[in-house]
């Protein structure tokens, strides 16, 4: 496709932020190592040179301080982006996120807005162990008041980031380390894709049907979209047609696409890199039960981290994080059972 430009997800995020910063001088970024380093995962790569230290602000390791400061700056009309280096580091800032960022708009009777983006890295499969590999999006989706965005492709990453910055509500933007196309992570061809140069938005609450199918529906996000697509290709060779749906945002959630797909395929498996209990997989299974129970030929299946912390050793980690093989096996079992 002549003239179509390829970017990695990481570069698409950085470009989205840069374009919004050019368009809107209220946008600025705060975080650890986001300046000269360009962000540990490259989300602010090149931005310091472009916008200077007044708008690309390296912070001390003071998550409660600078995320709280983003909340305060947002309520005063700025549009800050704060980067929490790894989502696992949320603890130090949880009060500001859970009790302030999420609730101020509601508590003020809709009179105070908190237009900020809190972006953060998620995910494992590279032996970074229990405190640097979690996904945790369900934890934040659980509290009312935070929009939850989880891109899986370069195109979505850019459009969803621009949408997030322009949104008047607080948005948490989770980028999975394995979908960014970083040179030092395990190579992933799906982390590079066509991204238009001009700014564009992708509305929240619209799931993306990545692959149409008739035999079962796979509901997922982030790196598990890639693994589900790989699994769907293998399943197709066996004659099983899986529909793969990238939810893209958990809050708001595209219930309609989920329910319509399940009504069509009659079977559903949720593939989730977050913990199993009380999380995304249970929520989606409940929605299917509420709205499409009569259409199901089998109980919903859930593939998720089996309620243990992420272990370090490679065979242990591969045992708890859903793999292509286990997605294939689960689908096979669902269809044959």
In whole angstroms, what is the distance from residue 58 CA to residue 154 CA?
Answer: 25
Judge if the upstream peptide bond of residue 252 is cis by omega within 30 degrees of 0. yes
Nearer to other proteins, 40 or 78 (CB): 40
Q: Is 130 in the site for other proteins (CB under 8 A)?
A: yes
Closest approach, Cβ 275 to other proteins, in A, equals 11
Tell me which of 46, 69, 78, 89 binds other proteins, using CB under 8 A.
89
What is the C-alpha separation between 246 and 45, in angstroms, rounded?
A: 26
Q: Least CB distance from residue 158 to other proteins, whole Å?
A: 25
- Closest separation between CB of residue 133 and other proteins, Å? 9
Q: Which of residues 163-222 bind other proteins (CB under 8 A)?
A: 183-187
180-185's contacts with Cβ under 8 Å and 24+ in sequence apart are: 180/8, 180/9, 180/10, 180/13, 180/41, 180/42, 181/8, 181/9, 181/10, 181/11, 181/154, 182/8, 182/10, 182/41, 182/42, 185/126
Residues 21-80 within binding reach of other proteins (CB under 8 A):
32-33, 35-37, 40, 58-65
Name which position in 92, 236, 296, 324 contacts other proteins (CB under 8 A). 92
Q: Where are the alpha helices (DSSP H) in the chain?
A: 9-23, 47-51, 63-75, 94, 104-107, 137-142, 154-166, 223-237, 255-265, 280-292, 314-320, 324-336
List CB contacts of 283: < 8 A, sequence separation 6 or more: 138, 141
Q: CA dist 124 to 128, 274, 320, Å?
A: 7, 10, 10
| Residues 174/120, Cβ–Cβ less than 8 Å | yes
Task: Find the part of the chain contacting other proteins (CB under 8 A) among 130-138, 237-245, 249-257, 292-300.
Answer: 130-138
Q: Cα(256)–Cα(13) distance, rounded to whole angstroms? A: 28
The stretch among 162-170, 198-206, 256-264, 314-322 that binds other proteins (CB under 8 A) is 314-322
Stretch in the footprint of other proteins (CB under 8 A) among 194-202, 207-215, 249-257, 303-311 = 303-311
Q: In the bound complex, what is the minimum distance in angstroms from residue 192's beta carbon to other proteins?
A: 14
Catalytic residue list = 132
Using rule CB under 8 A, residue 121 touches other proteins? no
**Of the candidates 306, 325, 329, 337, which one interacts with other proteins according to CB under 8 A?**
306
Nearer CB in complex with other proteins: 139/207? 139
Q: Is 311 in the site for other proteins (CB under 8 A)?
A: yes
Which residues of the shown chain bind other proteins in the complex (CB under 8 A)? 32-33, 35-37, 40, 58-65, 88-89, 91-92, 125-132, 183-187, 306-309, 311-320
């Amino acid at each position: 496709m002549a003239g179509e430009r390829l970017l990695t997800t990481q570069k698409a995020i950085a470009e989205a932020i840069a374009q919004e910063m050019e368009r809107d001088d209220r946008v600025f970024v705060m975080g650890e190592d986001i300046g000269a380093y360009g962000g540990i995962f490259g989300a602010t790569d090149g931005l310091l040179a472009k916008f200077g230290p007044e708008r690309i602000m390296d912070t001390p390791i003071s998550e409660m301080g600078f995320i709280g400061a983003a909340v305060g700056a947002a309520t005063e009309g700025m549009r800050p982006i704060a980067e929490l280096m790894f989502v696992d580091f949320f603890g130090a800032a949880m009060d500001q996120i859970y009790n302030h960022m999420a609730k101020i708009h509601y508590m003020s009777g809709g009179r105070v807005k908190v237009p900020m983006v809190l972006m953060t890295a998620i995910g494992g499969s590279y032996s970074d162990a229990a405190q640097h590999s979690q996904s945790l999006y369900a934890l934040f989706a659980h509290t009312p008041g935070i929009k939850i965005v989880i891109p899986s492709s370069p195109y979505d990453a850019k459009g969803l980031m621009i949408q997030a910055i322009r949104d008047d509500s607080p948005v948490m933007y989770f980028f999975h380390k394995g979908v960014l196309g970083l040179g030092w992570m395990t190579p992933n061809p799906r982390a590079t894709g066509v991204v238009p140069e001009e700014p564009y938005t992708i509305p929240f609450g619209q799931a993306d049907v990545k692959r149409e199918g008739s035999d079962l529906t796979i509901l997922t996000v982030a790196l598990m979209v890639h693994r589900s697509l790989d699994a769907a290709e293998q399943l197709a060779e066996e004659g099983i047609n899986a529909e793969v749906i990238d939810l893209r945002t958990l809050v708001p959630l595209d219930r309609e696409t989920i329910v319509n797909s399940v009504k069509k395929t009659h079977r559903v498996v949720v593939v989730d890199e977050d913990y199993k209990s009380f999380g995304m997989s249970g929520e989606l299974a409940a929605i299917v039960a509420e709205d499409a129970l009569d259409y199901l030929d089998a109980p919903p299946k859930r593939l998720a981290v089996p309620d243990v912390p992420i272990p370090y050793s490679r065979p242990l980690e591969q045992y708890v994080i859903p793999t292509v093989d286990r997605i294939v096996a689960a689908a096979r079992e669902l269809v044959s059972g």
